[in-house]
Amino acid sequence: MSDDQWREAIKQAESLADIELVFRQLWPSCFPKPLRKPLFAFPDVVIHADETSVKKHPCYKDAKAGDEESSANLVEDTFNADAIASLRVFLGGRRPILISAHAMEGEGVNAIPEAFAEMLSAELNLQVESGIVQINTVGHTGANGFARLARQPIFEGDVTEGRDYLLVDDFVGMGGTLANLKGYLE
């Protein structure tokens, strides 16, 4: 990429994620590659609430921007006892560590996955690991498939080798965040 090309690409950028893509092209050795693992033999996702009802909830915007109280209220209001029962059956007595895919969003750190993990912890009597975090901004909220593939999440933190993890996120679109988190954990 020539000097004129990258300068123009920076000018055309609509977000920090767009600028990050330019930097990744210019200096690939400075940016770690995401560790994506295939989701073969990965269990089905358990959906607790439909996307529309969550996004229309009065606490959603503040929760997505990092407000812990709004996140707790949102998670409590969208609690799904049937989904918890499904998780109990799936776990079959196993005691994985809950890990949430909390990430930096445009307005702040999305607090919904962590609040959801805390609720699951209380319901299922499982430990929550908060030290593994997404370290880049990907802007997946409302993004199309190409944008999700182009801007993949990268995680950092201490993994306990040999432990089982139960992955928690606020929404699952194409499964890319879970695939990358799974790759990081393995």
pLDDT tens across 78-96, in order?
Answer: 999 999 999 999 999 999 9
Residue 3's pLDDT is: 79
Whole-angstrom distance, CA of residue 125 vs CA of residue 41: 25
The stretch 37-55 carries a mean pLDDT of: 82
Q: What percent of the chain has a predicted confidence (pLDDT) above 70?
A: 87
Residue 111's pLDDT is: 87
Of the CA atoms within 13 Å of residue 91, those in its CB half-sphere come to: 22
Rg, the chain, Cα only:
18
Q: Residue 45, Cβ neighbours under 10 Å: how many? A: 12
The stretch 51-60 carries a mean pLDDT of: 92
Task: Select the more confidently predicted residue: 139 or 184.
Answer: 184
| Per-residue confidence band for 142, with pLDDT thresholds at 50, 70 and 90 | confident
Residue 13's pLDDT is: 84
